[in-house]
Amino acid sequence: MFGLGAQELMLILLIALVLFGGSKIPDLGRSLGQAIREFKRGVESPDPAPEAKPDPGQKPEGPKSA
For the chain, how many structural domains are there in total? 1
Question: What span, in angstroms and rounded, lies between the C-alpha atoms of 45 and 50?
Answer: 15
Its pTM stands at 0.48
Percentages helix, strand, coil for the chain (3-state, rounded to 5) are 55, 0, 45
> Which residues span the domain enclosing 37?
9-43
Q: At 57, is the secondary structure helix, strand, or coil?
A: coil
Predicted confidence (pLDDT) at residue 34 exceeds the cutoff of 70: yes
Does residue 39 lie within any of the structural domains? yes
Query: Do 20 and 28 form a contact (C-beta atoms < 8 A)?
Result: yes
Q: What is the pLDDT of residue 37?
A: 94
Q: How many helices (H) and strands (E) does the chain have?
A: 2, 0
| Confidence bin at 11 (pLDDT 50/70/90) | very high
**Residue 59, domain member (yes or no):** no
Tens-place pLDDT, residues 35-50: 999 999 988 877 676 6
Looking from the CA of 15 toward its CB, the CA atoms found within 13 Å total 6
